Homo-oligomer: A and B are copies of this chain.
C-alpha cells in the first residue's frame, strides 16, 4: 500500500509541471559547480548573482528599518545620509510594529498608496490602492491570479510563445490548459494578431517581448471581442534598450482607448523589484493592480492572499522605494540616478555585445534584445546533431545546451522550455554576466558552437543557408 507522499500517489498536476529555468540544465550545472567547475549561470535573470551591485539608497533605508534602534544612535549620521534616515522613519511610520509585524495580506496601505501614485504619474490615469495587492515577487502574484481563474482543463490560458515558463508551470499546477500562440521571430518577436486568433479558434473547437503600441491595441481589442482577461507581465518596464518605443503600460493603452473598452476589459498588471536597474530578486517584492475586476472577485483574491498572512515587509519597503525614488534636491539623488543609469547603460552595451557575438557564430541567428534581460538566439542544428540527440533520448536543443555547459561552464536554458515552432531550436541566455567578462564568454561560446557545427555538419552545405 503506497503512502500519501509516495511519488505515485502525488497530485498528478504537480507531477505534470515542467519548469525549464530550473530544470535539467540547471540541475546539471549545480552538480558541476559542486564538483568545482566554474559555472556562469545565465539561466535566470538574477543580476546580483552575476555581480551587479545593489543601489545604495534603498539598501540604506531598509537597513535602517531593520535596525530602528540605530535611529536613536548619536553616531547614525556618520554612516547614513539624512535623507535615508528620514525615509526610514517614513516607512516605519507606515507599519505598526516595523518590519517584524505581519502587514495586511494585501500589503501595507501606505505603500499601496505610493504604488497607486506611481501608476498615476506613469499612465496619466488615477489608480485605486484598494485594487493593488503587494506580493512576494511578481511570480506569487501571477500564481494567485491563475489559481483564481482556472477551474479545470477546459479553461484555456493564451500564452505567447516563446513564453516565460512560470506561465506553463503554474497552468499545469492548477490544472488549466495552455493555449500557445507564436510570436514572430522575423518581426523581432512581435505579435501577429492572426496567430492569436488562429490559436483561439483551434482551442475553442476541440501574455509578450517588446510590443508596439499598435500590437497592444490589437491585443486589447482582441481581449474585448473575445471576452478574455489580460494578464500584463510588465516586470521589465524599466529595461528598454532602444529609444523608438518607450514603455507603455497595457493599462494606459486600454484607458486611452476610451469607452466601452476602458470599462470592460479585465486587466491584471504585474511589477517587481527583481528587474529594472534594481535587480533585487532575493528581496521578493512585487505588486499586481486590477482594472475592471468586480469587487466580489477582489474580495475573494484578498481572502486567498490572507491564507499566507502577509507578503514579506522588507520587500514591500523596496517596492515603496522603487515607485517613489529619491527626488532632485535630495542628498542621495545624484548618486542614486548615477548608479541606476550606469546599470542600464551597461545592460544596453551588453545587449549589443551579445547579439553581435551570437550573430558572428556559425548557424546562429539572433534578434537584438530590445528590452528585458535575455537573448534568444536561434540555433540551426544540423540534421546529424538532431539524430545524435535523438539517439541519446534528448530533445535536440537540450543536447546542444548540455554540451555547451560541459565544454564552457555556460549554463543556459534550451528553447524548448519556452516553446518554439516545430523543428526550430533556440537557447535562452541572460545578458547579465559582468560587462568585462562578456567578450571572453562570447568567445568561449563561439569556439564551442563553431566546433560543434563543424563536427555535426555534413559538408554538403545543407544547413549553412
Is there a chain B Cβ closer than 8 Å to A455's Cβ? Answer: no
Chain B residue, CB-CB nearest to A145: B5
- A1-25 near B? 1/0 per residue, CB < 8 Å: 1011111011110110101011000
- A136-180 near B? 1/0 per residue, CB < 8 Å: 110110010001111100000000000000100110011000000
A149-B10 contact in complex given A17-B304, A78-B75, A283-B312, C-beta closer than 8 Å: yes
A306 touches B6 (CB 8 A): no
A52 to B266, CA, bound (A): 42
A312 touches B293 (CB 8 A): no
Is there a chain B Cβ closer than 8 Å to A188's Cβ? Answer: no
Is there a chain B Cβ closer than 8 Å to A420's Cβ? Answer: no
A4-B67 contact in complex given A22-B105, A283-B314, A304-B14, C-beta closer than 8 Å: no
A456 to B10, CA, bound (A): 52
A308 to B21, CA, bound (A): 11
A66 touches B70 (CB 8 A): no
Which residues from B are CB-within-8-Å of A98?
A: 48, 54, 282
Is there a chain B Cβ closer than 8 Å to A36's Cβ? Answer: no
Is there a chain B Cβ closer than 8 Å to A255's Cβ? Answer: no
Which residues from B are CB-within-8-Å of A284?
A: 136, 310-313
B281 touches A310 (CB 8 A): yes
Chain B residue, CB-CB nearest to A8: B296
- With beta carbons under 8 angstroms apart, the residue of B10, B102, B274 that contacts A281 is B102
- A279-303 near B? 1/0 per residue, CB < 8 Å: 1111110000010011011001001
A174 to B64, CA, bound (A): 40
**Chain B binder among A55-63, A204-212, A367-375:** A55-63
Is there a chain B Cβ closer than 8 Å to A337's Cβ? Answer: no
Interface residues on A, range: 35 or more
Is there a chain B Cβ closer than 8 Å to A453's Cβ? Answer: no
A147-B281 contact in complex given A44-B309, A76-B79, C-beta closer than 8 Å: no
Is there a chain B Cβ closer than 8 Å to A73's Cβ? Answer: yes
Most buried by B among A15, A279, A303: A303
Chain B nearest CB from A174 CB (Å) reads 8
- With beta carbons under 8 angstroms apart, the residue of B66, B104, B136, B266 that contacts A312 is B136
Is there a chain B Cβ closer than 8 Å to A227's Cβ? Answer: yes
Which residues from B are CB-within-8-Å of A48?
A: 97-98, 100-101
A59-B54 contact in complex given A46-B97, A227-B3, A294-B7, C-beta closer than 8 Å: no
A147-B11 contact in complex given A282-B98, A307-B17, C-beta closer than 8 Å: yes
A5 touches B294 (CB 8 A): yes
Is there a chain B Cβ closer than 8 Å to A229's Cβ? Answer: yes
B49 touches A101 (CB 8 A): yes
Which residues from B are CB-within-8-Å of A63?
A: 63-64, 66-67, 70
B300 touches A281 (CB 8 A): no
B46 touches A306 (CB 8 A): no
- A375-407 near B? 1/0 per residue, CB < 8 Å: 000000000000000000000000000000000
- With beta carbons under 8 angstroms apart, the residue of B5, B44, B280 that contacts A297 is B5
A100 touches B307 (CB 8 A): no
Chain B residue, CB-CB nearest to A100: B48
Chain B residue, CB-CB nearest to A41: B96
A307-B143 contact in complex given A97-B282, A101-B281, C-beta closer than 8 Å: yes
- With beta carbons under 8 angstroms apart, the residue of B49, B96, B228, B296 that contacts A102 is B49
Most buried by B among A1, A11, A290: A11
A304-B173 contact in complex given A7-B294, A63-B67, A148-B10, C-beta closer than 8 Å: yes
B279 touches A100 (CB 8 A): yes
Chain B nearest CB from A350 CB (Å) reads 17
Is there a chain B Cβ closer than 8 Å to A99's Cβ? Answer: yes
A306 touches B19 (CB 8 A): yes
Is there a chain B Cβ closer than 8 Å to A50's Cβ? Answer: yes
**Residues of chain A at the chain B interface (Cβ within 8 Å):** 1, 3-7, 9-12, 14-15, 17, 19, 21-22, 30, 44, 46-52, 54, 56, 59-60, 62-64, 66-70, 73, 75-76, 78-79, 95-105, 136-137, 139-140, 143, 147-151, 166, 169-170, 173-174, 227-229, 266, 268, 274, 279-284, 290, 293-294, 296-297, 300, 303-304, 306-315
Name 9 extra pairs, CB < 8 A, besides A10-B297, A75-B79. Answer: A4-B149, A4-B227, A15-B300, A19-B307, A30-B104, A63-B66, A136-B312, A137-B308, A283-B314
